[in-house]
Chains A and B, each alone.
Chain A
């Protein structure tokens, strides 16, 4: 098992949470567990400060941040 600290920044209302999940869980599987709003296009998944994509596996304890995708600065 691996331990994930998940911070969801999609909304101000979301509190950080901790999860224990199987090793080698994919980002897509993690998103299914988190039951996020159905707007995959509108979010970026960041693990330990690095963007990850749906087909990537999480292999060790990590900090997951879910960011809203923005149109620019």
Chain B
């Protein structure tokens, strides 16, 4: 049963397995990482210091082939925001964790000697091995070496040079079913936390692990089939996402005036037609070769919203190319060249940085005049500054807030230190309410309301929408589900039913809501103890008085509006 925690001490290089603590049995994913952080990490701990912990978790259905149920969740106190952080990704690592029986890996302490380590986890135990031969190498090369050393079927959790250098934009990658190490827990600088612990990679070897125990096997299979049928019968999850991927969002956000453009000064981009889902699909299919417009990032995924983007010769350039990246490295910089964005994405992935945060930082740098908006060659030049570790590159890789302060730019699109993702806050106000109020900082995955059928540029009802979205997506995060299932999910009870059949529990959908509300409150409590107040629940001032030209709106909320939010 999936009830073990692997506790890894980097100061003594010891690892031991323990049962989930009393009170943790129903927690997984973001709920578990956040609860462990609240319970075990001092709120004033230095994010890169010995008292922070890196908590890696999987969902309650990890290790099974339920579609979209194998997200890997990683949490810590964030060096970027200074608050609690969770960032999740697809890939195969959570599936492997589930097969190994670990619901969490908790990495503690700092190594006594400044050396790099690889943690190898197998059915029979764990070993620390030297990782010094991996240091300084890009993520792709690291993965290749790890496959040669330990086998090609393993799950990998690893950092790039950015994580080793403890840069604030550093993310943590894991590998997809094709072996590509490009599924990123990108946000919040969590790669820097892993780097601070001297851990360059974790290898998850599930060889000889038995099949997951299912308490009510037949019911589980029935409920899984029912859930899969929901995904296959919904047009968004069965047609739109598999065909166009997440880039299909761009036509929507552009129409709403909510597409970040020119360092978030506009919400509509004239070049969006060259970047949207149809353009991406056309480019990939016309080139053929190794490219594919649809690709599953997790074992058994039926939605397959990922893709493989080929170069002009049909060779893989990057996989995937996603909406957020196309926004932040594209429209936000007024770059309308998918090849340039894909190359920029490849550079980010290999160095191990968050494309959202880097895109925000480059937007700020372009506003400072470091390069021109719309210049794709300059985009690549700036990313090479990052990869080559120049001083300018270091500034960019410290995120948009540091970039803004260093270069004297007042328009910095960030909340709680974290750059905004691909939803312009005056164009899609409910999502911006999430940016302002979520303990995660500016993070669309904490509660995106773009799908709601409301006038997104108006204030009415947006706080309630955000609150519901924060709980709704928070539940998926807590269970290890991908948020892409949401349009097909007419009834949350199906999630509880699958979990109940696996564990022999009797949870209701309402129980799942309660668990979610409880951990969201835990996250807020951690941030409050870390020094966050309502003054941190604001957007940068210019969004309150500068109009979004696409829809004439400003962000017109004040602190009192948040009273309506109640987790």
Contacts and interface: CB of A to CB of B under 8 A. Distances in A.
Interface of A: 9-12, 40-44, 46, 49-51, 53, 65, 67-73
A20 B248 CA distance: 29
B240 A68 contact: yes
A31 to B, nearest CB: 12
A40 B255 contact: no
Nearest to A41: B453
B486 interface: yes
A46 B243 CA distance: 20
Interface stretch (B283-291, B333-341, B443-451): B443-451
A65 B324 CA distance: 23
Given A12-B243, A49-B254, A71 B483 contact: yes
B483 A67 contact: no
B256 interface: yes
Given A41-B453, A42-B453, 9 more contacts: A11-B235, A42-B236, A51-B255, A65-B251, A65-B255, A69-B451, A70-B246, A70-B248, A73-B444
B243 A72 contact: no
Contacts, number: 84
Contact of A71 (B257, B324, B486): B486
B102 interface: no
Contacts of B486: 71
Contacts of B247: 73
B47 interface: no
A41 B448 CA distance: 15
B553 to A, nearest CB: 12
A48 B223 CA distance: 43
B322 interface: yes
Nearest to B472: A71
Given A49-B254, A70-B248, A71-B487, A12 B451 contact: no
Contacts of B252: 44, 51, 67, 69-70
A12 to B, nearest CB: 6
Given A44-B252, A67-B251, A67-B252, A72 B235 contact: no
A46 B255 contact: yes
A36 to B, nearest CB: 12
A68 B450 contact: no
Contacts of B327: 73
B451 A72 contact: yes
The B interface, classified by DSSP as helix, strand, loop or mixed, is helix
A53 to B, nearest CB: 6
Contacts of A53: 455
Contact of A72 (B240, B251, B255, B483): B483
Nearest to B456: A51
Q: How large is the interface on B (under 10, 10 to 19, 20 to 34, 35 or more residues)?
A: 35 or more
B483 A68 contact: no
A73 B323 contact: yes
Contacts of A10: 235
B458 to A, nearest CB: 10
Nearest to B326: A73
Given A11-B235, A11-B239, A70 B255 contact: no
Given A70-B249, A70-B450, A73-B324, A49 B255 contact: yes
Contacts of A69: 236, 252, 450-453, 487
A44 to B, nearest CB: 6
Nearest to B444: A72
Contact of B322 (A44, A68, A70, A73): A73
Nearest to A69: B451
Nearest to B327: A73
Nearest to A40: B453
B241 interface: yes
20 contacts: A40-B453, A42-B487, A44-B255, A44-B256, A49-B254, A50-B257, A51-B256, A69-B236, A70-B240, A70-B450, A70-B487, A71-B451, A72-B323, A72-B444, A72-B445, A72-B448, A73-B246, A73-B322, A73-B323, A73-B422
Interface string B285-323: 000000000000000000000000000000000000011
B483 A12 contact: no
B484 interface: yes
Interface string B242-279: 01001111111011110000000000100000000000
A68 B257 CA distance: 17
Nearest to B240: A68
A72 B450 contact: yes
Contacts of B250: 73
A65 B252 CA distance: 10
9 A-B pairs closest in CB distance: A73-B323, A73-B246, A72-B448, A73-B249, A51-B255, A46-B255, A71-B486, A69-B451, A41-B453
A41 B257 CA distance: 19
A71 B322 contact: no
